Chains A and B, each alone.
Chain A
Amino acid sequence: MDISIEIQNLSKNYGKKKALSEVNLSIPQGMFGLLGPNGAGKTTLMKVLTTLLKKTDGEVTICGVPVEDSKRIRNMTGYLPQDFSMYGNMTAYEALDYLAVLSGMSKAERKRKVPEMLEKVNLLEKRKTKVRSMSGGMKRRLGIAQAIIHDPKIIIVDEPTAGLDPEERVRFRNLLCEIAKERIVLLSTHIVGDIEATCENIAVLDQGKIRFNGKVSELLSLVKDKVYSAEIAAVELDQVKETYMVTGILVTGSTANVKIIADEKPFPQAKPVQPDVEDAYMYLMHKK
């Protein structure tokens, strides 16, 4: 089976408000990052892909199946919503088993897969812990377990690392990379670091429109030779911020080390530095 998501001229309106406007995307197998500020339309796009919202216009196919065929789409997708939770009085095992039933799994399959998935997300020891007693990270891991338990070809995760501590975030990213083999994992986030650490292909969505679609290296090439580091007097900081796009500041006593994006060398003492995805993203968002 061809594992891909094809989106052509997708539009979604909420009344007069356009949440998505003529979005075109081709998502191949592997991790795919969807980056954009809050309110960019990322969740709307994810909900259209998971059949939770009807599109207004355009065409969407998942592994060749049109998104209108909701039953088949739901069978081949796993979804981790932004604010995933389960009934507080259920244990981790019960919650996963309940959602596995809703995924159409037989008793034998559930008996095998539920402990397997709990182990995969490192929750097997906590299988008797009630959902209401779980930390945010544990809930997110339970969320990913329910999204993959029926072995879907497409996994859609919406802002999965928001609110997690750094250790949980790294663990979660690694988990996503691990499950992305032979699947598409569509990762929506506004945290650039998540994308940088996990995705090769990305799209940047802003105000319902695709502002960039390509490889991370292509995004980085937008700011090639445009990122500089310079040591300036701390008192000059406000003026520099007004004149240039500053993506990093480190103040040490009366001096400040700034990271600047500029088409040309901003000051004589500025040195070109290697850009990262955050610099490229900032450049892209401020270029408009």
Chain B
Amino acid sequence: MFGVLFLKECKQVLKSLVYYIYVVVFVLFITSQMGGGEYEKLQEPLPGQSNYGVIPTKDETQIMEGTLAGLVEDVYHNSFATYPVGFYKGVKLTDREKEQAEEILKRCTGKSFAELEEEMIQHFSQYDQSSVEGMTKAYANYTVSVKEGFTYEEFGEAMEEICRLVGKGSSYEKKKYENGVTVPMTYEQAREEYDALCTKDRLTRGYMRLFCDYAGIVLAILPIFIGVSRVLRDKRAKVSQVIFSKPASGALIVVSRYLANLVMVCIPVVVTAFLLQQPYYYKAQTLGIQGDFFAFLTVPGMWLLPEIMVVLALSFLLTEFSDSILAVFVQSAWGIGSLFAGVTLVGDFGLRLVARWNTLGKTSLFYALEKEFLRNRGYYFLLAVVCVMLTIVVYEIKRKKGGTVYGKIRKADR
């Protein structure tokens, strides 16, 4: 009975316009983001290269020097990028606030702002600023030394003062600067990264993580519409009463609908992942690596499935409970908030719905963070199961209360 109902529900999804909109938006988003740029960058590092990319540093001096360099630039341009509620907000300081910021810089570096400004102009003039490579190098190598004896604690206090001036969500918040300062990689580090990508990730797994990063962004939002439209379809088609009166249990009805929608949401994800993986699978072969052919299933399965599950389950629950499109607003806010709440685009999983890994590689870092990642995904998997169970409860309550959770019956129904 479950299997038949499941297939009938799948067929219903296939007849829904919302589903086709979902497929189109998803495919367009993914293909526009995964443009193949990473494919070009996939080259074995060789000794003597001028640039091996950058790597985040945990060295306190480097963190201070990198952060202060950014601060000098921001004060010089009097333009601070902040993300107070996830969205960009440019901040311009008043003359008095700018003076305060310059004072803070002087306290940290022992130099007046005029001196810092001159050093900065001199530094950038050494590079060819008309090329991307030149600019990248100029920024990567630009640091501002702290004054002698200036401690990391004092630096932290100074940055707190900057945060008070520019407001929330700037790159001078502790979590941000501790994860946001990068330093150029050495050949050895680059080699180690490349080897890990080839052996541990077998290339395709690493690429699928990048795929999951982009897919995870849209999948925090799009399945909401699928879930809401499925649950509201009963109300719109006026079939609730007749279905309520049938012997089938609430668990059977809700679970078959949920799983059918889950499978249908996953199909374009898996197909897209498979197609996008193919060039990397063959690239791996040309590099003499046996790529992981099933990475298109295993990586999105671990990364995206719990996310899709919880987004869909919560949309079922909220819609069944409220008989409205409440879930669209609540869950969109959650998805967008989660997207912008991360300190970095690589890692920082915490309990964020959207797990970010906006890079091809950094394999060693991923395996170092794997436990945190698994905890995050496990949490959402369980949350999805709880939401489905609660949906069943709500469905059964409605079934016994004339189709409403609140006990209000339309006058015409009496």
A138: shortest Cβ distance to chain B, in Å? 15
**Assuming A14-B409, A39-B414, A54-B401, is B237 touching A87 (CB within 8 A)?**
yes
**Assuming A53-B401, A54-B401, is B245 touching A79 (CB within 8 A)?**
yes
Which A53-84 residues sit within 8 Å CB-CB of chain B? 53-54, 70-71, 74-75, 77-81, 83-84
Stretch among A44-52, A192-200, A239-247 lining the B interface = A44-52
Q: Verify if A271 is at the interface (C-beta below 8 Å from B).
A: no
User: In the assembled complex, which residues on chain A have CB atoms less than 8 Å from the CB atom of B238?
Assistant: 83-85
Residues 224-252 of B, flagged 1 when their CB comes within 8 A of A and 0 if not, give 00000000010001110111111111000
Which B395-414 residues sit within 8 Å CB-CB of chain A? 399-403, 407-409, 411, 413-414
User: In the assembled complex, which residues on chain B have CB atoms less than 8 Å from the CB atom of A1?
Assistant: none
- Cross-chain contact of B15 among A54, A78, A89 (Cβ < 8 A): A89
Q: Verify if B123 is at the interface (C-beta below 8 Å from A).
A: no
**Assuming A44-B414, A101-B4, is B12 touching A51 (CB within 8 A)?**
no
A41 touches B414 (CB 8 A): yes
Which of A85, A94, A102 has most chain B Cβ within 10 Å?
A: A102
A75 touches B401 (CB 8 A): no
Q: Verify if A248 is at the interface (C-beta below 8 Å from B).
A: no
B250: shortest Cβ distance to chain A, in Å? 11
A139: shortest Cβ distance to chain B, in Å? 10
A41, B414: Cα distance in complex, Å: 5
B226: shortest Cβ distance to chain A, in Å? 16
**Assuming A52-B400, A53-B400, A102-B5, is B233 touching A87 (CB within 8 A)?**
yes
Q: Verify if B8 is at the interface (C-beta below 8 Å from A).
A: yes
A81 touches B242 (CB 8 A): yes
A103 touches B248 (CB 8 A): yes
B242 touches A84 (CB 8 A): yes
User: In the assembled complex, which residues on chain B have CB atoms less than 8 Å from the CB atom of A77?
Assistant: 245
A71 touches B247 (CB 8 A): yes
B237 touches A86 (CB 8 A): yes
- Cross-chain contact of A107 among B4, B244, B407, B414 (Cβ < 8 A): B4
- Cross-chain contact of B407 among A14, A52, A102 (Cβ < 8 A): A14
B306: shortest Cβ distance to chain A, in Å? 30
A75, B246: Cα distance in complex, Å: 7
- Cross-chain contact of B413 among A43, A103, A150 (Cβ < 8 A): A43
User: In the assembled complex, which residues on chain A have CB atoms less than 8 Å from the CB atom of B244?
Assistant: 52
A279: shortest Cβ distance to chain B, in Å? 27
- Cross-chain contact of B1 among A80, A89, A104 (Cβ < 8 A): A104
- Cross-chain contact of A79 among B241, B402, B413 (Cβ < 8 A): B241
Residue in A closest to B247 when the chains form the complex, CB atoms: A74
Q: Verify if A19 is at the interface (C-beta below 8 Å from B).
A: yes
User: In the assembled complex, which residues on chain A have CB atoms less than 8 Å from the CB atom of B409?
Assistant: 14
**Assuming A15-B407, A43-B414, is B1 touching A74 (CB within 8 A)?**
no
Q: Verify if A99 is at the interface (C-beta below 8 Å from B).
A: yes
A41, B246: Cα distance in complex, Å: 22
User: In the assembled complex, which residues on chain A have CB atoms less than 8 Å from the CB atom of B8?
Assistant: 94, 97-98, 101
B1 touches A99 (CB 8 A): no
Please report whether the interface of chain A is mostly helix, strand, loop or mixed according to DSSP. Answer: mixed
Residue in B closest to A143 when the chains form the complex, CB atoms: B242
- Cross-chain contact of A19 among B233, B243, B414 (Cβ < 8 A): B414
Which of B1, B4, B242, B243 has most chain A Cβ within 10 Å?
A: B242
A98, B8: Cα distance in complex, Å: 7
Which A86-110 residues sit within 8 Å CB-CB of chain B? 86-89, 94, 97-99, 101-104, 107
User: In the assembled complex, which residues on chain B have CB atoms less than 8 Å from the CB atom of A70?
Assistant: 400
Residue in A closest to B409 when the chains form the complex, CB atoms: A14
User: In the assembled complex, which residues on chain A have CB atoms less than 8 Å from the CB atom of B411?
Assistant: 39
B239 touches A86 (CB 8 A): yes
Which of B237, B241, B248, B407 has most chain A Cβ within 10 Å?
A: B241
A260, B244: Cα distance in complex, Å: 45
A75, B248: Cα distance in complex, Å: 9
Q: Verify if A146 is at the interface (C-beta below 8 Å from B).
A: yes
Residue in A closest to B256 when the chains form the complex, CB atoms: A101
A52 touches B399 (CB 8 A): yes
Residues 6-42 of B, flagged 1 when their CB comes within 8 A of A and 0 if not, give 0010001001000000000000000000000000000
Q: Verify if B385 is at the interface (C-beta below 8 Å from A).
A: no
B1 touches A14 (CB 8 A): no
**Assuming A43-B414, A101-B5, is B243 touching A54 (CB within 8 A)?**
no
- Cross-chain contact of A99 among B12, B246, B408, B414 (Cβ < 8 A): B246
B239 touches A85 (CB 8 A): yes
Residue in A closest to B402 when the chains form the complex, CB atoms: A53
Residue in B closest to A98 when the chains form the complex, CB atoms: B8
Which of A19, A44, A47 has most chain B Cβ within 10 Å?
A: A47
Residue in B closest to A45 when the chains form the complex, CB atoms: B414
User: In the assembled complex, which residues on chain A have CB atoms less than 8 Å from the CB atom of B413?
Assistant: 43-44, 47
Which of B233, B243, B245, B400 has most chain A Cβ within 10 Å?
A: B245
B242 touches A146 (CB 8 A): yes
Q: Verify if B345 is at the interface (C-beta below 8 Å from A).
A: no
Top 6 closest pairs, chain A to chain B, by CB? A102-B246, A79-B245, A102-B248, A81-B241, A74-B247, A85-B238
- Chain A contact residues, CB within 8 Å of chain B: 14-15, 19, 39, 41, 43-44, 47, 50-54, 70-71, 74-75, 77-81, 83-89, 94, 97-99, 101-104, 107, 143, 146, 150
Given A84-B242, A107-B4: 19 more A-B contacts, CB < 8 Å: A43-B413, A47-B402, A50-B245, A51-B245, A51-B399, A51-B400, A52-B399, A74-B245, A77-B245, A81-B245, A85-B239, A86-B237, A87-B237, A87-B239, A88-B237, A99-B246, A101-B4, A101-B248, A150-B247
23 residue pairs of the A-B complex, CB under 8 angstroms, read A39-B411, A39-B414, A44-B414, A51-B245, A52-B400, A53-B400, A53-B402, A54-B400, A54-B401, A74-B246, A78-B245, A79-B241, A79-B245, A81-B242, A84-B241, A85-B239, A86-B237, A88-B237, A99-B242, A102-B246, A104-B247, A104-B248, A143-B242
